């Protein structure tokens, strides 16, 4: 049985392993296929793919894109988009600018709440300061003694409604599904009924996204209990969407998300790759030779 995990983060965003180390960990975990899906960036792809070639793990290039729909934050996984597609790069640039600009404001709010941290302390925890996020603020809070670990830092300071929480720019969800398709990639809803997304993404709204070009739903994810998984699987079948499963691994940054803890059925993966090939050809872009799924 081919073991496939389609969602993992490296230190290029808010995971804790460098891309090559992440891929080696995937090999040790017995995975055959691993998607690198750092937040809002493709920076880790080449390092991960080189490591994958060495250890025999097929690395699927992906991005977990921060989007918003009607004011709700929605994470959108994109697989195999052309990383040089101008429209995609422009959108990711805006998201990354928003991430950087948010840090001083968050730090100011936390200082007002009596915590002695500064921007440099946050950036020290981001291996790639381009993709700084709340988890790095959490690390700085832990270092400052304001929390025991990232989870507590989120609960006390960084979750919506807590003193250190601040919204940032995110791309429009439906627009982004089109941007990903035009870049020759496929879009999959990440943990649609996870912590913050549950009440918003109804079957009806998912149907509208499918009509806009959505290719799949991440059904098997730690944030989904068995009932949620059953219901989401039903929606996927009804809408002819691909069902994926993944760990959303963040290294030591997030417990309970070990590599391979959820996996994608090989037949579903094959369907996703077919759609990716169709999207790539439909976008008028070349099928890069080194991608093993091309025929
Ligand atoms: P940001 O995109 O910077 O707003 O931060 C969102 C990131 O924080 C996501 O990658 C989540 O995985 C992570 N995150 C959210 N809640 C928690 C939590 N309770 N513990 C650890 N990480 C979390
Ligand atoms: Zn993350
Ligand atoms: Fe996510
Ligand atoms: Fe994630």
Convert the chain into a string of H (helix), E (strand) and C (coil): CCCEEEEECCCCCCCCCCHHHHHHHHHHCCCCEEEEEEECCCCCHHHHHHHHHHHCCEEEEEEEEEEEECCEEEEEEEECCCCCCHHHHHHHHHHHHHHHHHHHHHHHHHHHCCCCCCHHHHHCCCCCHHHCCHHHHHHHHHHCCCCCCHHHHHHHHHCCCCCCCCCCCCEEHHHHHHHHHHCCCEEEECCCCCCCCCCCCCHHHHHHHHHCCCCEEEEECCCCCHHHHHHHHHHHHHHCCEEEECCCEECECCCCCCCCCCCCCHHHHHHHHHHHHHHHHHCCCCCCCCCCCCC
Distance of CA 36 to the CA centre of its chain: 8
Q: Give the Cα separation of 132 and 125 in Å (integer).
A: 9
Q: Give the Cα separation of 64 and 114 in Å (integer).
A: 33
Atom of ligand 1 nearest to the CA of 66: 2
Q: Which of 135, 161, 247, 253 to mutate to test the pocket of ligand 1 (most atoms within 8 A of CB)?
A: 135
At 151 the pLDDT is 93
Radius of gyration of the chain (CA): 18
CB half-sphere exposure, 23, CA atoms < 13 A: 24
Residue 85's CB: how many other CB atoms inside 10 A?
19
CATH of domain 99-158: 1.10.150.650
At 198 the pLDDT is 67
Ligand 1 binding residues, C-beta < 6 A: 14, 39, 66, 133-135, 150-151, 154, 254
Q: Tokens at residue 180, please?
A: 């990903």
Q: Which residue is listed with tokens 């759609």?
A: 275
Q: Which of 63, 107, 254 to mutate to test the pocket of ligand 1 (most atoms within 8 A of CB)?
A: 254
Residue nearest to ligand 1 atom 16, measured at CA: 154
Listed by start position, the domains of the chain span 4-92+169-291, 99-158
Q: Give the Cα separation of 73 and 175 in Å (integer).
A: 14
Per-residue pLDDT of the chain (295 residues), as tens digits, is 999 999 999 999 999 999 999 999 999 999 999 999 999 999 999 999 999 999 999 999 999 999 999 999 999 999 999 999 999 999 999 999 999 999 999 999 999 999 999 999 999 999 999 999 999 999 999 999 999 999 999 999 999 999 999 999 999 999 999 999 999 999 999 999 997 666 899 999 999 999 999 999 999 999 999 999 999 999 999 999 999 999 999 999 888 999 999 999 999 999 999 999 999 999 988 876 656 554 3
At 294 the pLDDT is 44
Helix axes 19-28 and 45-55, enclosed angle (nearest 10): 30
Q: Give the Cα separation of 252 and 131 in Å (integer).
A: 18
Atom of ligand 1 nearest to the CA of 9: 10
CATH of domain 4-92+169-291: 3.20.20.140
Asked if the domains 4-92+169-291 and 99-158 are classified in one and the same CATH topology, the answer is: no
At 292 the pLDDT is 53
Ligand that comes closest to the CA of residue 133:
1
């Amino acid at each position: 049985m081919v073991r496939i995990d389609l969602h993992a983060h490296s230190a290029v965003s808010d995971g804790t392993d460098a891309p090559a180390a992440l891929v080696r960990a995937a090999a040790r975990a017995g995975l055959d296929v691993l998607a690198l899906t750092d937040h809002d960036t493709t920076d880790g792809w080449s390092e991960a793919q080189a490591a994958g070639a060495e250890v025999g793990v097929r690395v699927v290039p992906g991005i977990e894109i921060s989007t918003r729909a009607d004011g709700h934050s929605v994470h959108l996984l994109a697989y195999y988009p052309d990383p040089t597609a101008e429209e995609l790069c422009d959108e990711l640039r805006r998201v990354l600018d928003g991430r950087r600009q948010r840090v001083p404001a968050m730090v100011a709010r936390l200082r007002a709440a009596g915590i002695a941290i500064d921007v440099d302390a946050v950036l020290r925890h981001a291996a790639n300061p381009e993709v700084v996020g709340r988890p790095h603020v959490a690390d700085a809070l832990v270092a400052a003694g304001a929390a025991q670990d990232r989870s507590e830092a989120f609960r006390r300071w960084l979750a919506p409604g807590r003193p250190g929480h601040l919204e940032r720019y995110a791309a429009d969800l439906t627009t982004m599904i089109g941007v990903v398709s035009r870049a020759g990639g496929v879009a999959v809803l990440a943990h649609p009924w996870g912590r913050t997304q549950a009440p918003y993404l109804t079957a009806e709204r998912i149907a509208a996204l499918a009509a806009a070009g959505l290719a799949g739903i991440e059904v098997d994810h730690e944030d989904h209990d068995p009932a949620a998984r059953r219901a989401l699987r039903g929606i996927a079948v009804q809408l002819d969407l691909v069902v994926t499963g993944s760990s959303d691994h963040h290294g030591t940054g997030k417990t309970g998300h070990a590599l391979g803890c959820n996996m994608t059925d090989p037949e579903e993966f094959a369907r996703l790759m077919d759609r990716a090939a169709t999207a790539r050809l439909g976008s008028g872009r070349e099928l890069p030779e080194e991608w093993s799924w091309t025929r």
